[in-house]
Amino acid sequence: MKRRQFLQYSALSAAGLTFAACTNQGSTHFTQPAANFGKLEKTDLQIGIVSSLDCLPLVVAKEKGMFKKYGLNVTLVKQPTWEQVQQELHSGKLDAAQTLFAMPLWEYFSSKGGKSPAKEEEGQSRRQRRDRDRVKSDAKTVALMGLNINGNSISLSPAAWKAGLRSRQSYSNLNELQDGYNKFFRELKTPPAFAIAHPAAMANYTTRYWLGTMGIDAERDVKFQVLAPDAILAGLDNGKVVGYATDELFNQQTLTDKKAFTAAIDRDIWRGHPEKILASLDTWLKANPITAKALMAAVLEACQYCDNQENVAALAPILGKSEYTNAGTNKSWQKILAGSYNFGALDGKAQVLKVPDFQIFHFQSTKYLQQPNHANFLWHSHAVWVLTQMVRWRQQQLTDYPKDADAIIKQLYPTEGYADVAKAFWLSMPKGQLKIEQPDTFVDLIAFDPNKPLEYLNGFELRA
């Protein structure tokens, strides 16, 4: 812990309670005529989504007519897992999809012969592993634009609560927090199961990062497993799962049912991290460049709509439709969009904090997000950070940072099409593709310089 000092507790506490003014200052184009990018190559589109809060821009674009405005007839196809989304995308059944920011990198290195770490595969069925291995083709998943930043949480079981662990804001000082968590994890007879949705999920990376800042080894002290929601709930009930890292809507329902409490939200681990993206295959993008721009324009309008507080009430009857979200999810997501987050204390006392930037779909003015930066811009530096973590944990058999990483990232996260859309929206773009993340962006107060990935990697004491 000498190299990576934990964020001072005063700053950690303030992060959850005070913010810069959060106002919707991005261009709001949905009141303007549709931009004309040219003749569409394709108008009927199938787009994959997963039941989560960050599919909201796609749902809004469908329900509020943004897709139709740009000449697109879109069907949203709900998928049960991120693996299934990618399977359907590669099969050609989907034109585009909501997927994980790191998915293009994950699949690229999978096609090079890498495999998921065994510890992360144990929770997968034989069919899931077989389906995963099919995602190896010449076509590559490429990002079109970002859908949101932030938006995940780390929640722990009632057993952790009974052992004395609490949400981070409940601790009076840093030593108390570190001692409590270290004591709990290290006194367990075997490494506890910790559930994630996919090894490439940002929640996987931020959770490992968070554990590391407390001196907990994510490879030896915890057993990460890919588990479906039902398996997570069963594991919480039988004590085999100590916690999970996920996005909403699942977490708030679990808290309401008193099956877990939220220990931390990932925007307090890395403020402004990328989360989900709109993606397609590179072959599809090459064949449909004009359609891709129209698609991005419709989704960008929807992202702006979602960040406007005046529209929160209008979103209520939309996301709850069964074709978009799973049965059993509650309406707590409306409170999240309105700026309140429930940490789900298990003692009956309210643990609701103001977190207006729990999830940002386009723009809110915060210390870490200032114009012309916005949530839909694809920073190549974010992909550099993800790649450092893939190497850190030896995902896809990566043991060294690739020498051709810049070329790979440029290929998988192209920006030219989105730049044309942004121009049509009178939306300024950041200069360059690499952004240094300042020390106060991360929970451990360690800056990230994307120009020095090897130096950054060498700074981690805990790694695979």
The residues spanned by each domain of the chain are 29-150+274-324+368-436
Q: Is the dihedral of CA 385, 333, 443, 190 positive or negative?
A: negative
Buried/exposed code over 221-250 (b: 16+ C-beta within 10 A; e: otherwise): bbbbbbbbbebbbebbeeeebbbbbbbbbb
User: From the CB of residue 421, how many other CB atoms can be counted at a distance below 10 Å?
Assistant: 25
What's the length of the chain?
464
Helix (H, G, I), strand (E, B), or coil: what is residue 270? strand
Using alpha carbons, list the distances in angstroms from residue 404 to 283, 388, 391, 407, 409: 22, 13, 14, 6, 9
Predicted confidence (pLDDT) at residue 140 exceeds the cutoff of 80: yes
Second CATH level (architecture) for the domain 29-150+274-324+368-436: 3-Layer(aba) Sandwich (3.40)
d(CA 365, CA 367): 7
**Phi, psi for 289 (deg, rounded to 5):** -65, -35
So what's the pLDDT on residue 120?
A: 46
Q: pLDDT band for position 329 (50/70/90)?
A: low
When the pLDDT of each residue in the chain is averaged and rounded to a whole number, the result is 88
Given a cut of 90, whether residue 277 has pLDDT beyond it is yes
Distance from C-alpha of 45 to C-alpha of 461, rounded to nearest angstrom: 47
pLDDT at 25: 41
Between 70 and 5, the higher pLDDT residue? 70
Q: 300 vs 117, which has greater pLDDT?
A: 300
Q: Is 261 helix (H, G, I), strand (E, B) or coil?
A: strand
Under the banding of pLDDT at 50, 70 and 90, the label for residue 332 is confident
* CA–CA gap between residue 265 and residue 251 (Å, rounded): 11
More confident residue, 15 or 204: 204
Lowest mean pLDDT among 119-128, 152-161, 306-315, 404-413: 119-128
Residue 327's pLDDT is: 60
Q: pLDDT (tens digit, 9 = 90+) per residue, 13-26?
A: 344 333 333 334 44
Q: Is the pLDDT of residue 127 over 60?
A: no
Query: Confidence class of residue 63 from pLDDT cuts 50, 70 and 90?
Result: very high
- Given this model, what pLDDT does residue 260 score? 96
Q: What is the pLDDT of residues 391-424, one digit of tens each?
A: 999 999 999 999 999 999 999 999 999 999 999 9
Q: What is the pLDDT of residue 170?
A: 87
Residue 88 class from Cβ within 10 Å (0-12 exposed, 13-18 middle, 19+ buried)?
middle
Tell me the mean pLDDT in the region 102-123.
69
pLDDT digits over 229-246, tens only?
999 999 999 999 999 999
